[in-house]
Amino acid sequence: MIRKNYAKYFVRINSNEIDKSDICGTKNQITILINLINDLNKNCSWYLFDIRTYPEGWLEISKNTGPIYFCNSSDLISKLEDRYQFIFGIFICIESNKKIEKWTRLFDSEENLIPDLEYGFLEIRPFDGSYYEIYSNDFEVIKIYAKQFNVEIEILVVD
Protein backbone atom coordinates (compact mmCIF):
# COMPACT_ATOMS: atom_id res chain seq x y z
CA MET A 1 0.00 0.00 0.00
CA ILE A 2 1.35 3.43 -0.91
CA ARG A 3 0.95 5.89 1.93
CA LYS A 4 -0.33 9.33 0.91
CA ASN A 5 -0.08 12.23 3.32
CA TYR A 6 -0.16 15.35 1.18
CA ALA A 7 0.68 18.72 2.70
CA LYS A 8 -2.38 20.88 3.26
CA TYR A 9 -0.68 24.18 4.16
CA PHE A 10 2.26 26.16 2.87
CA VAL A 11 4.24 29.31 3.70
CA ARG A 12 7.01 31.01 1.76
CA ILE A 13 9.68 32.78 3.81
CA ASN A 14 12.41 35.02 2.44
CA SER A 15 15.82 34.97 4.08
CA ASN A 16 15.58 38.60 5.24
CA GLU A 17 12.40 37.70 7.17
CA ILE A 18 14.41 35.18 9.17
CA ASP A 19 17.66 36.97 9.99
CA LYS A 20 17.81 40.14 7.84
CA SER A 21 20.26 38.44 5.47
CA ASP A 22 20.20 38.71 1.68
CA ILE A 23 21.65 35.19 1.45
CA CYS A 24 19.26 32.24 1.74
CA GLY A 25 20.19 28.74 2.90
CA THR A 26 22.59 29.58 5.72
CA LYS A 27 23.33 27.53 8.81
CA ASN A 28 21.79 30.25 10.98
CA GLN A 29 18.52 30.27 9.04
CA ILE A 30 18.17 26.48 8.92
CA THR A 31 18.86 26.36 12.66
CA ILE A 32 16.16 28.96 13.36
CA LEU A 33 13.62 27.06 11.24
CA ILE A 34 14.45 23.73 12.91
CA ASN A 35 14.37 25.18 16.41
CA LEU A 36 10.87 26.57 15.88
CA ILE A 37 9.46 23.08 15.46
CA ASN A 38 11.81 21.71 18.09
CA ASP A 39 10.13 24.02 20.63
CA LEU A 40 6.78 22.42 19.75
CA ASN A 41 7.93 18.81 19.47
CA LYS A 42 11.25 17.92 21.06
CA ASN A 43 10.86 14.27 20.07
CA CYS A 44 11.26 14.58 16.32
CA SER A 45 13.69 13.11 13.81
CA TRP A 46 14.77 14.41 10.41
CA TYR A 47 15.29 12.95 6.97
CA LEU A 48 17.13 14.92 4.29
CA PHE A 49 16.80 14.29 0.55
CA ASP A 50 18.02 15.93 -2.66
CA ILE A 51 20.44 18.24 -0.86
CA ARG A 52 22.54 20.57 -2.98
CA THR A 53 24.97 23.00 -1.38
CA TYR A 54 27.41 25.65 -2.44
CA PRO A 55 30.18 24.76 -2.39
CA GLU A 56 29.35 21.10 -3.02
CA GLY A 57 30.33 18.51 -0.47
CA TRP A 58 28.35 18.96 2.76
CA LEU A 59 28.41 15.49 4.32
CA GLU A 60 29.38 14.29 0.84
CA ILE A 61 25.69 14.20 -0.12
CA SER A 62 24.85 14.10 -3.80
CA LYS A 63 21.51 14.40 -5.55
CA ASN A 64 21.28 10.63 -5.95
CA THR A 65 22.13 9.84 -2.35
CA GLY A 66 19.31 8.19 -0.44
CA PRO A 67 17.82 9.75 2.65
CA ILE A 68 20.14 11.00 5.35
CA TYR A 69 18.72 10.32 8.82
CA PHE A 70 19.22 12.45 11.94
CA CYS A 71 17.77 11.04 15.16
CA ASN A 72 16.91 14.48 16.54
CA SER A 73 17.10 18.20 15.80
CA SER A 74 20.26 18.70 17.86
CA ASP A 75 22.06 16.03 15.84
CA LEU A 76 21.09 17.75 12.57
CA ILE A 77 22.02 21.23 13.79
CA SER A 78 25.40 19.99 15.00
CA LYS A 79 26.23 18.83 11.45
CA LEU A 80 25.42 22.17 9.79
CA GLU A 81 28.46 24.20 8.76
CA ASP A 82 28.77 27.93 8.12
CA ARG A 83 30.78 27.44 4.95
CA TYR A 84 27.89 25.74 3.10
CA GLN A 85 24.84 27.40 1.62
CA PHE A 86 21.84 25.14 0.98
CA ILE A 87 20.64 25.79 -2.57
CA PHE A 88 18.00 23.05 -2.76
CA GLY A 89 16.89 20.29 -0.46
CA ILE A 90 14.14 18.54 1.40
CA PHE A 91 14.17 18.43 5.20
CA ILE A 92 11.34 16.19 6.49
CA CYS A 93 10.45 16.12 10.17
CA ILE A 94 8.77 13.04 11.65
CA GLU A 95 7.28 12.72 15.13
CA SER A 96 9.54 10.07 16.59
CA ASN A 97 13.01 8.66 16.36
CA LYS A 98 11.67 5.65 14.44
CA LYS A 99 13.85 4.96 11.44
CA ILE A 100 11.91 4.68 8.17
CA GLU A 101 13.38 2.00 5.92
CA LYS A 102 11.29 2.59 2.80
CA TRP A 103 9.88 5.80 1.37
CA THR A 104 7.59 5.69 -1.66
CA ARG A 105 7.40 9.35 -2.71
CA LEU A 106 9.59 11.25 -5.13
CA PHE A 107 12.37 13.27 -3.59
CA ASP A 108 13.31 15.78 -6.22
CA SER A 109 12.84 19.17 -4.58
CA GLU A 110 12.03 20.76 -7.92
CA GLU A 111 9.29 18.33 -9.03
CA ASN A 112 6.88 17.85 -6.10
CA LEU A 113 4.58 20.85 -6.26
CA ILE A 114 2.46 19.56 -3.37
CA PRO A 115 4.62 17.15 -1.41
CA ASP A 116 3.48 13.85 -0.03
CA LEU A 117 4.86 14.14 3.50
CA GLU A 118 4.41 10.37 3.82
CA TYR A 119 5.61 9.72 7.40
CA GLY A 120 6.33 13.35 8.24
CA PHE A 121 4.35 16.31 9.50
CA LEU A 122 6.64 19.09 8.27
CA GLU A 123 8.82 19.71 5.24
CA ILE A 124 11.31 22.56 4.87
CA ARG A 125 12.78 23.35 1.45
CA PRO A 126 15.47 25.92 0.80
CA PHE A 127 14.73 26.91 -2.77
CA ASP A 128 17.27 28.11 -5.30
CA GLY A 129 19.22 30.10 -2.71
CA SER A 130 16.30 32.58 -2.74
CA TYR A 131 13.65 31.61 -0.19
CA TYR A 132 12.20 28.75 1.89
CA GLU A 133 9.03 26.81 1.30
CA ILE A 134 7.55 25.16 4.38
CA TYR A 135 4.79 22.58 4.12
CA SER A 136 2.68 20.79 6.71
CA ASN A 137 -0.57 18.91 7.05
CA ASP A 138 -0.99 20.33 10.57
CA PHE A 139 -2.41 23.85 10.75
CA GLU A 140 -0.99 24.47 14.24
CA VAL A 141 2.51 23.68 12.98
CA ILE A 142 2.34 25.94 9.92
CA LYS A 143 0.79 28.69 12.04
CA ILE A 144 3.98 28.81 14.14
CA TYR A 145 6.02 29.73 11.06
CA ALA A 146 3.42 32.17 9.70
CA LYS A 147 3.22 34.00 13.01
CA GLN A 148 6.98 34.05 13.63
CA PHE A 149 7.80 35.51 10.20
CA ASN A 150 4.56 37.42 9.57
CA VAL A 151 3.72 35.57 6.36
CA GLU A 152 0.42 34.30 4.99
CA ILE A 153 -0.63 30.66 5.09
CA GLU A 154 -1.70 29.23 1.77
CA ILE A 155 -4.09 26.28 1.58
CA LEU A 156 -3.01 23.61 -0.88
CA VAL A 157 -5.46 21.61 -2.99
CA VAL A 158 -4.57 18.12 -4.16
CA ASP A 159 -6.19 16.95 -7.39
75-133 tens-digit pLDDT = 999 988 888 888 888 899 998 767 787 877 766 655 557 888 888 999 999 987 889 99
Residue 3 lies in a domain: no
Number of domains in the chain: 1
What is the share, in percent, of the chain residues with pLDDT greater than 90?
Answer: 44
| Mean pLDDT score, 128-145 | 92
Residue 148 lies in a domain: yes
C-alpha span between 158 and 4 (Å, rounded): 11
User: Residues 129, 150, 48, 90: is their CA dihedral positive or negative?
Assistant: negative
Spell out the long-range contacts of 65-69 with Cβ–Cβ below 8 A and sequence spacing 24 or more.
Answer: 67/100, 67/103, 67/107, 69/45, 69/99, 69/100
Decide if pLDDT at 143 tops 90: yes
Domain carrying residue 79: 9-155
Decide if pLDDT at 136 tops 80: yes
Best mean pLDDT range from 22-31, 62-71, 90-99: 22-31
Decide if pLDDT at 24 tops 50: yes
Could you tell me how far CA 57 lies from the centroid of its own chain?
19
62/28: higher pLDDT: 28
Residue 2 lies in a domain: no
Residue 1 lies in a domain: no
Q: What local confidence, expressed as pLDDT, does residue 1 receive?
A: 44
pTM, two decimals, is 0.89
